[in-house]
């Protein structure tokens, strides 16, 4: 379908859906864009993404509406619409990127960059200047990077903080804006994507009165989301719950949250020393980054507090080694650590347009010899794209989990300095599902694609 067909089709749709009032999308049949006229129009503007609107793949820039007629007055409105659309699509970042002959806007949605709009180069400087004004940056500075902040009111009481970063490039200034929802919706523990028996295991540990629960994984694996969904299962009026965070991501009613600030020498160890004097029941330490934090966190977990934290490690068993490398005594580790949740965050395949296909032979090895399912009888899923997923084939995200419980047998192995694989084998014997098995399972049940699973495991 060509752009012209799409626009022609729109003309036949009800008034609200007609894009004529949209300064960027409005394109009369002659291909000319009259941005100024449209922008001044008092009519109702319907914000739609190109993908949803034109039923085309975002990866085909040729079909992206291309604004050609420039009008300075339309700039605030254009920017407004970009933000509204970004928020509507739950984008985490908006990229304003100049190229040699264009000015591109991308949205990062579910971790993936999606082309959103293409402008003529003439829009570049006015749009960047507008962003700079909104975030109190110097508009006459074009050679140095700048950082700023702003906020955007999306209506319906929804406010979004904007973190603005300006970088000079060979084609002029590039701006990336991180969107931080002021009160993001908490994900419920049962909605993270844990298999039922894993979820039960985790819930059982949340009834403990002391010990340590760790969420581990690389950056962007959803560790804090997991911690918060676990913490929010506690009644804040019945427990003293305190957190140390950098930065504070979610605000939870009734929970005492403290922002770490290394610029004024207020770090995790400082915060932790104070917190334990505040008579806490439950403590959350945003991240264990160093020996001091590790040792104080372990100590808190051994002195009658339920402690939650995160570590940057790749596997559940690998976390034990990481703590040993931080000079934590192996007896203290086995006594304090109760549960390690290793995780990844992956894109879900769109359930509206997914289709199953037999497992290709090149993936047979993934199943392993002990697999209960023969790859010949199994199916994977792929999605070709539809309106629901804005033609990306993906919609939403889901966690992959590997959950290790500190059992007497594992304690003994750790104390006797057993190698990684021995501890892992024992954990699997006791019911731990390896991350790659969870990924394979989710690929077979149609939650994710095998490509996404492999990408996450890499
Ligand atoms: Zn779809």
pLDDT tens across 25-56, in order? 333 333 333 333 333 333 333 333 333 333 43
What are the structural domains, with CATH classification, of the chain?
Answer: 3-181 (3.30.450.90), 189-457 (3.40.50.300)
Give residue 352 CA to ligand 1 midpoint distance, Å.
5
Q: How far apart are CA 205 and CA 228, in angstroms?
A: 15
Per-residue confidence (pLDDT) for residue 66, from 0 to 100: 56
Give residue 350 CA to ligand 1 midpoint distance, Å.
5
Which is higher by pLDDT, 108 or 10? Answer: 108
Give residue 351 CA to ligand 1 midpoint distance, Å.
6
Give residue 457 CA to ligand 1 midpoint distance, Å.
24
Mean pLDDT confidence for 399-425: 97
Checking if the pLDDT of 57 tops 70, the result is no
Top-confidence range, 33-42, 256-265, 346-355, 370-379: 346-355
Per-residue confidence (pLDDT) for residue 67, from 0 to 100: 56
Give residue 387 CA to ligand 1 midpoint distance, Å.
6
Q: Is the full-model pTM beyond 0.85?
A: no
Which is higher by pLDDT, 155 or 420? Answer: 420
Give residue 456 CA to ligand 1 midpoint distance, Å.
21
Give residue 446 CA to ligand 1 midpoint distance, Å.
13
Query: What is the torsional sign of CA 182, 185, 186, 192?
Result: negative
Q: How far apart are CA 185 and CA 225, in angstroms?
A: 10
Mean pLDDT confidence for 308-321: 96
Give residue 188 CA to ligand 1 midpoint distance, Å.
24
Which is higher by pLDDT, 169 or 112? Answer: 169
Give residue 395 CA to ligand 1 midpoint distance, Å.
7
Confidence of residue 68 (pLDDT cuts 50, 70, 90): low
Top-confidence range, 29-38, 108-117, 240-249, 376-385: 376-385
**Lowest-confidence segment of 68-77, 78-87, 147-156, 282-291 by average pLDDT:** 68-77
Per-residue confidence (pLDDT) for residue 252, from 0 to 100: 83
Give residue 9 CA to ligand 1 midpoint distance, Å.
21
Per-residue confidence (pLDDT) for residue 11, from 0 to 100: 38
Q: Nearest CA to 444 among 396, 372, 369?
A: 372
Both tokens assigned to 383: 């999605």
Give residue 441 CA to ligand 1 midpoint distance, Å.
21
Give residue 354 CA to ligand 1 midpoint distance, Å.
7
Mean pLDDT confidence for 345-357: 96
**Lowest-confidence segment of 47-51, 70-74, 112-116, 352-356 by average pLDDT:** 47-51
Give residue 349 CA to ligand 1 midpoint distance, Å.
8
**What DSSP state is assigned to residue 378?**
-
Per-residue confidence (pLDDT) for residue 411, from 0 to 100: 97
Mean pLDDT confidence for 364-376: 88
Mean pLDDT confidence for 136-160: 90
Mean pLDDT confidence for 377-394: 93
Give residue 27 CA to ligand 1 midpoint distance, Å.
27
Per the DSSP assignment, residues forming a β-bridge with 261 are: 266
Both tokens assigned to 12: 């036949």
Mean pLDDT confidence for 188-193: 94
Per-residue confidence (pLDDT) for residue 65, from 0 to 100: 54
Q: Long-range contacts of range 364-373, CB-CB < 8 Å, 24 or more positions apart?
A: 366/436, 366/440, 366/450, 367/440, 373/444
Both tokens assigned to 23: 């300064």
Give residue 442 CA to ligand 1 midpoint distance, Å.
18
Mean pLDDT confidence for 140-168: 90
Mean pLDDT of the chain: 85
Give residue 347 CA to ligand 1 midpoint distance, Å.
12
Give residue 1 CA to ligand 1 midpoint distance, Å.
18
Give residue 439 CA to ligand 1 midpoint distance, Å.
21
Give residue 382 CA to ligand 1 midpoint distance, Å.
10
Give residue 289 CA to ligand 1 midpoint distance, Å.
40
Give residue 353 CA to ligand 1 midpoint distance, Å.
4
**Lowest-confidence segment of 243-252, 256-265, 305-314 by average pLDDT:** 243-252
* φ and ψ of 130, to 5 deg: -60, -45
Question: Is residue 65 within 8 Å of residue 85, measured between CB atoms?
Answer: no
Give residue 117 CA to ligand 1 midpoint distance, Å.
21
């Amino acid at each position: 379908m060509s752009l012209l067909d799409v626009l022609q089709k729109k003309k036949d749709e009800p008034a609200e859906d007609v894009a004529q009032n949209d300064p960027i999308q409005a394109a009369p049949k002659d291909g000319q864009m009259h941005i100024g006229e449209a922008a001044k129009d008092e009519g109702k503007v319907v914000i739609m993404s190109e993908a949803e609107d034109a039923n085309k793949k975002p990866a085909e820039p040729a079909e992206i509406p291309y604004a050609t007629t420039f009008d300075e007055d339309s700039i605030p409105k254009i920017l407004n619409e970009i933000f509204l659309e970004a928020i509507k699509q739950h984008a985490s970042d908006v990229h304003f990127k100049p190229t040699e002959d264009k000015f591109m806007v991308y949205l990062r949605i579910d971790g993936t960059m999606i082309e959103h709009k293409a402008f003529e180069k003439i829009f570049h400087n006015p749009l960047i200047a507008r962003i700079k004004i909104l975030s109190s940056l110097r508009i006459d500075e074009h050679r140095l990077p700048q950082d700023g902040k702003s906020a955007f009111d999306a209506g319906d009481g929804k406010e979004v903080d904007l973190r603005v970063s300006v970088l000079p490039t060979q084609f002029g200034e590039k701006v990336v804006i991180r969107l931080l929802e002021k009160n993001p919706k908490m994900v419920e523990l049962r909605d993270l994507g844990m298999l039922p028996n894993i979820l039960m295991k985790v819930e059982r540990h949340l009834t403990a009165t002391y010990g340590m629960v760790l969420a581990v994984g690389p950056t962007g694996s959803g560790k804090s989301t997991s911690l918060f969904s676990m913490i929010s299962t506690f009644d804040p009026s019945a427990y003293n719950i305190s957190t140390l965070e950098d930065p504070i991501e979610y605000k939870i009613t009734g929970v005492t949250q403290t922002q770490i600030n290394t610029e004024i020498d207020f770090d995790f160890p400082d915060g932790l020393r104070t917190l334990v004097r505040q008579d806490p029941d439950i403590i959350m330490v945003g991240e264990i980054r160093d020996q001091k934090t590790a040792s104080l966190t372990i100590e808190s977990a051994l002195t009658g507090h339920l402690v939650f934290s995160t570590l940057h490690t790749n596997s559940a068993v690998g976390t034990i080694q990481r703590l040993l490398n931080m000079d934590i005594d192996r007896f203290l580790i086995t006594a304090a650590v109760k549960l390690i949740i290793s995780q990844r965050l992956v894109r879900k395949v769109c359930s509206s347009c997914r289709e199953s296909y037999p497992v290709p032979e090149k993936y047979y090895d993934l199943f392993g010899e002990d697999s209960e399912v023969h790859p010949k009888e199994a199916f994977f899923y792929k999605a070709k794209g539809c309106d629901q997923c804005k033609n990306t084939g993906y919609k939403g995200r889901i966690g992959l989990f590997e959950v290790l419980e500190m059992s007497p047998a594992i304690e003994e192995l750790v104390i006797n300095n057993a190698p990684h694989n021995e501890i892992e084998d024992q954990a699997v014997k006791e019911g731990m599902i390896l991350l790659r098995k969870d990924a394979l399972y989710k690929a077979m049940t149609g939650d994710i694609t095998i490509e996404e699973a492999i990408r996450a495991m890499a």
